[in-house]
Amino acid sequence: MTLAIIHTRAGLGLEAPEVLVEVHLANGLPGMTLVGLPEAAVKESRERVRSALVNAGFDFPLRRITLNLAPADLPKEGGRFDLPIALGLLVASGQVPPEALAGVECAGELALDGRLRPVTGVLPLAMATRRAGRRLIVPLANADEAALAGDLEVLPADHLLEVVAHLLGQASISPHRAPVAVLTPEAGPDLAEVRGQHQARRALEVAAAGGHNLLFAGPPGTGKTMLASRLPGILPPLSEEEALEVAAIRSVSGLSHTEQWGVRPFRAPHHTASAVALVGGGSKPRPGEISLAHHGVLFLDELPEFSRHVLEVMREPMESGQIHIARASHERRYPAGFQLVAAMNPCPCGHLGDPRQACHCTAAQIQRYQARLSGPLLDRIDLQVEVPALAPEQLTSRQAGESSAVVRERVLAARARQASRGALNARLAGQALEEACALQAADRAWLAGVLERLKLSARAYHRVLRVALTLADLAGETRPGRDQLIEAIGYRQLDRLLKG
């Protein structure tokens, strides 16, 4: 045997396409050639593998070695190919029988002494190995993550010697048991801690029930961030499938997966964040904040301070729920189905309309500040709510608000009504929206009159309908009536604030 083939996988976004590591030994001047589009870190693999094999006491074949990573057109990154290359050399040189690797995939970086180091993106790799019906050898530090993939035999090892002893039948590695997966929405902060702010709390509940994007406007220190961070806790618990998707995105980002398992994401990037940090990209394309917020909440505090360019690049993924990152060789696609909560001060100093403190901004300053909000982005925010400064007696009130668990029950009931329509209300538009609302003729005429007086656009009309439908779902009504329409029009406060 002078040819060996080992099964492993590349990382391409959230996909893990199969890669065959082919090792061929030939007579000739000793040396090692690596072909098949390897990137720098993979090229260094040669040196790591050579040292690891020698230091672990194996024979390093003194022949002409050709390593091929196939298919050649897949980009290959990182140290994950070290272990398959080392095992390929051991098989090709007769130190491990080829049968031992039948039905096995492996990945892992090698230290110079033969220890196995963890690699990123193990969860998508493990899910693909499970679908292929093979067993998976991974570094011990990756075992918990790999085991999240479910019905898969995960064989963890800390050292190359353990792997070889297992393959030779000298000392078996026991399959790794998954840590008990607990899906708990109770882990996060609770709404009971928010004092006062009844209208903002109500808007948060409506946002959760219909999947609507939400903008809080108000002076600093009124609890906008506190409110936003409680949205994940009143959303339905993640399904197993959603939790896996969230964990897979964290996995390819090199973030911890197990401690956040089952928790809806809440991401709050700073307003100085770059477009790449927000939507993803870079020379080795990584997911951005909008993907890390998938199935969860993206919170943009001080929205007018974000650069216009950064907000512009968010528009397309907000429509499609995913982001395409084009690279010369391959396109990566990451999911980005997040719910947006934004917050802003009403003016540069923050105190416009604040009874506690006077605003000293000029009219021109205020206009410039508010004009920074892009119209197309605002069009995608159904709920705009003022969060006023609290009166002192409200701040010191000991009366706790409703808990997240109580609010979540109502959200779940409202979402159950939407399930029969096939989409969350925030996603309804045009004819489907009109049909779902089925307004009575009198209400329709009344609404047309109000919109006319308020000079609201056709887009604004649809936002009012979407929100009114969610209010009807929360009230257990079959369609929005006058009460729901009036409340829905009230969630256009930014328009009023901007005008006056």
Binding site for Zn ion (CB under 5 A): 347, 349, 352, 359, 361
Shortest distance in whole angstroms from residue 358 CB to Zn ion: 8
Tokens linked to 75? 């980009």
Shortest Cβ 143–Zn ion spacing (Å):
55
Q: Given the complex with Zn ion, which of 12 and 347 has the nearer CB atom?
A: 347
Q: How far is the CB of 196 from Zn ion (least distance, A)?
A: 23
Tell me 233's DSSP state.
G
Decide if 371 contacts 380 (C-beta within 8 A): no
Backbone φ and ψ of 367, nearest 5°: -65, -45
Phi, psi of 28 (to 5 degrees): 140, -170
**In the complex, minimum distance from the CB of residue 308 to Zn ion, in angstroms, rounded to a whole number:** 21
- Quick one: tokens of 317? 């993924």
Q: C-beta of 355: minimal distance to Zn ion in Å?
A: 14
CB of 347 to Zn ion, least distance (A): 3
272 or 357: whose CB is closer to Zn ion? 357
Question: Judged by CB, which is closer to Zn ion: 177, or 496?
Answer: 496
Q: Tell me how crowded residue 412 is: count the other CB atoms within 10 A of its CB.
A: 15
CB of residue 385 to Zn ion, shortest distance in Å: 19
Which residue blocks in 56-197 are alpha helix, DSSP H? 82-92, 122-132, 143-147, 160-167
Looking at the Cβ atoms of 82 and 354, the one nearer to Zn ion is 354
Q: Which residues pair with 322 in a beta bridge?
A: 335
Of residues 119 and 347, the one with the C-beta less far from Zn ion: 347
- Comparing CB distances to Zn ion, the nearer of 263 and 361 is 361
Measured N-to-C along each axis, helices 45-55 and 82-92 cross at an angle, to the nearest 10 degrees, of: 60
**What would the DSSP string read from start to end of 387-441?**
-PPPPHHHHT-------HHHHHHHHHHHHHHHHTTTS-GGG--HHHHHHHH---H
Strands 116-117 and 297-300 come out as unpaired
Cβ proximity to Zn ion: between 172 and 367 the closer is 367
Q: In what order do the strands lie in the sheet with 383-386?
A: 266-267, 297-300, 339-344, 214-217, 383-386
Please give the single-letter amino acid code of residue 304.
P
Whichever of 14 and 352 has its CB closer to Zn ion, that residue is 352
Closer residue to Zn ion (CB): 244 or 349? 349
The least CB distance from residue 302 to Zn ion, in Å, is: 14
Cα distance between residue 250 and residue 245, in whole Å? 9
Whether residue 107 contacts residue 83, with contact meaning beta carbons closer than 8 Å, is answered with yes
CB distance 342 to 300 below 8 Å: yes
Closest CB 224 distance from Zn ion, rounded Å: 16
Which helix (H) or strand (E) is 332 found in, with range? strand 331-335
Q: Which is nearer to Zn ion, 143 or 347 (CB)?
A: 347
Shortest Cβ 352–Zn ion spacing (Å): 5
State the number of CA atoms in the 13 A half-sphere of 202 facing the CB: 16
